[in-house]
């Protein structure tokens, strides 16, 4: 699955621009510096408060649902009710997920595989976050998948963490019998960042902020 980062779909741009307007303004001392991309390991229509934004299927269209206020994650210590999206990385960070991948494995994505249009909406929603809070959408240390965070923190599927819990969210976009690798996950994250950046530029232009 490959994205053409030169193309911006007006439907997703419109939804992302709307999300930009609904995101909370930061208060004194608040900060949002990072964005993490996930899947929720559930059905297409399910939204969860563990993520600030859920991309779900509503009436046949992928839409971003603003589930948990960014303000709850914009501090350290975290505020009550914050979105607990990424291990040890929840402060000053937004978690965005696609509702997909129930009971999925790397070789069998099951009945709710990630969809290319769903991933595009994920990138558009991430772009709204990056535009709103001035996050560099090209920087892999600031915008990353849960798989990439797991690689950085030692609990990717090729690692052996002490508790045995690993993560590979968005390491690949289609199931395959090939073993997962860190290189594949990083390449996948790069594709998502490229599309996120294209949408960020389009949002800023649409709002006359460029």
Separation CA 54–CA 52 (nearest Å)? 7
Separation CA 125–CA 98 (nearest Å)? 10
Q: Which residues contact 160 (CB under 8 A, 6 or more apart)?
A: none
Q: Which residues contact 17 (CB under 8 A, 6 or more apart)?
A: 128, 203, 206, 207
Omega of the bond leading into 142 within 30 degrees of 0 (cis): no
Residue ranges covered by each domain of the chain: 10-206
What number of other Cβ atoms are within 10 A of residue 137's Cβ?
23
Q: Which residues contact 78 (CB under 8 A, 6 or more apart)?
A: 72, 90, 91
Please list the pLDDT of the chain residue by residue as tens digits (210 residues): 555 656 799 999 999 999 999 999 999 999 999 999 999 999 999 999 999 999 999 999 999 999 999 999 999 999 999 999 999 999 999 999 999 999 999 999 999 999 999 999 999 999 999 999 999 999 999 999 999 999 999 999 999 998 999 999 999 999 999 999 999 999 999 999 999 999 999 999 999 987
pTM above 0.85, yes or no: yes
Separation CA 61–CA 102 (nearest Å)? 19
CATH class of the 10-206 domain in this structure: alpha beta
């Amino acid at each position: 699955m490959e994205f053409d980062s030169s193309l911006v779909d007006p439907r997703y741009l419109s939804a992302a621009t709307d999300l930009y307007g609904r995101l909370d303004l930061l208060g004194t001392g608040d900060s949002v510096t990072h964005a993490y991309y996930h899947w929720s390991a559930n059905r297409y229509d399910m939204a969860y408060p563990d993520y600030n934004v859920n991309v779900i299927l509503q009436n046949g269209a992928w839409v971003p649902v603003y589930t948990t206020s960014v303000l709850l994650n914009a501090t350290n210590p975290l505020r009550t009710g914050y979105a607990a999206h990424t291990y040890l990385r929840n402060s000053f960070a937004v978690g965005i997920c696609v509702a997909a991948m129930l009971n999925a494995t790397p070789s069998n994505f099951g009945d709710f595989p990630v969809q290319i249009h769903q991933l595009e909406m994920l990138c558009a929603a991430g772009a709204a976050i990056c535009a709103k809070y001035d996050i560099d959408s090209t920087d892999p240390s600031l915008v990353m998948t849960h798989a990439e965070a797991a690689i950085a923190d030692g609990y990717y599927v090729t690692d052996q963490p002490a508790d045995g819990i690993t993560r590979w969210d968005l390491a690949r976009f289609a199931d395959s019998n090939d073993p997962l690798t860190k290189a594949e996950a990083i390449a996948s994250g790069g594709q998502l960042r490229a599309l996120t950046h294209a949408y960020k530029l389009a949002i800023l232009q649409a709002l006359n902020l460029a």
